[in-house]
Structure 1
């Protein structure tokens, strides 16, 4: 029993230090959009050794990956709290998450080489679930591959994200384009009885 407790305490301490390191990284990024991010600067800000940063996070590219994972953890927490069961709510929550901390999220997406994967965990899992539910309830056609449909929407959202990161569109346009991609996908997959219902958002809103 003591070994289990000791192991658990060590893991808690590692998780706490990892959290401190990531928050220190975010703080450095907020100091300025072009702040230099290095193991040494992160370690100094987090009040740990550079070796601790490397051991708990990894080399520089892993820092961005860890920040992205933290974003997705927070998104999952928000979706769980809100009980989001509507794909529109999932898209809105995702866009707001990035827009809430623009300096950090923009730098993370620019620097992380695998940033196209940022939606592969959350919200893709939630989109798959809600679209499968929509098919089960007859909103979408029975022959629709809802996993592929969710992946298509996520890919469009990644495209809008990169436009936002490049300052080509603002927060409202980021949200509008992401919702437009979702509405197009849902309308294309709509069952006959629900076609007018799922086409309605496209008829009443511009494409931004």
Structure 2
């Protein structure tokens, strides 16, 4: 019993150190940019040794990937809500959740995305990468729309999911590059997502999508 309690305490301490390092990594990226994120700086600011950082989180790209996984997990939690089945409502809720996160610290997310691209964290073939996790979120959104009668089912959900992800990814790249602000990001991504859903929408949903796009365009 005593041994088990001691093990639980050590595990809790380990998790606290891990979260501290991730918090420091986030602060470094936000304050000094992606290039300032080094294992030695993370160790120094976290009050641990360099081997400890490696043992708890791995290399630099592992740490950045952990930050992005947390982001996708938070979006995933929002999309897990049962009422998000209507494609229009779900698309808007998805983007509102996403942009709320980005808006909470634009400097960090812009820098992190630039660094993530350089590290190849968005490569399609990465089994545990951000791309595949995001595609799974989009696939579930498509599957729900089909299950609840919003789609005709003539287009494969996997294809639709890739296009949905692509719509917001293009908008994100423009935002990261400083070409558009978050409001324009939302409009650009939402129109792209709705056009994608229109390709397999029921007549009633297709009409609603066209009306919503017209509203967004004015």
**Is TM (by shorter chain) over 0.5?**
yes
1:12 Cα deviation from its structure 2 partner: 2.6
The counterpart of 2:193, out of the listed 182, 186, 190, is 182
Q: CA RMSD for the aligned pairs? A: 2.6
Report if aligned partners of 1:28, 1:35 keep a CA contact under 8 Å in 2.
no
Change (3 A) 1:47 1:81: farther
Q: Name the CA distance, whole Å, in 2 between partners of 1:18 and 1:159.
A: 32
1:89 aligned to 2:93?
A: yes
- Corresponding residue number in structure 1 for 2:120: 114
* TM-score, normalised with respect to structure 1: 0.85
1:151 Cα deviation from its structure 2 partner: 1.9
- Corresponding residue number in structure 2 for 1:152: 163
Q: Name the CA distance, whole Å, in 1 between partners of 2:114 and 2:173.
A: 8
Report if aligned partners of 1:38, 1:60 keep a CA contact under 8 Å in 2.
yes
Q: Name the CA distance, whole Å, in 1 between partners of 2:80 and 2:151.
A: 24
Q: Structure 1 unaligned runs (5+)?
A: none
1:128 aligned to 2:132?
A: no
1:129-155 Cα shifts (integer Å, max 9, x gaps) = 232122122211122212321221112
* TM-score, normalised with respect to structure 2: 0.81
Q: Name the CA distance, whole Å, in 1 between partners of 2:79 and 2:147.
A: 21
1:14-38 Cα shifts (integer Å, max 9, x gaps) = 2211110010111222323366121
1:83 Cα deviation from its structure 2 partner: 6.3
Q: Report the count of equivalent residues.
A: 206
Q: Which structure ranks higher in relative contact order (CA pairs < 8 Å, sequence separation ≥ 6)?
A: 2
1:8-157 equivalences in 2 (<5 Å): 8-33=8-33, 36-79=36-79, 84-85=84-85, 86-112=90-116, 113-116=119-122, 117-122=129-134, 124-157=135-168
1:104-162 Cα shifts (integer Å, max 9, x gaps) = 2111111122243535324x434322321221222111222123212211122122112
Q: Name the CA distance, whole Å, in 1 between partners of 2:36 and 2:51.
A: 18
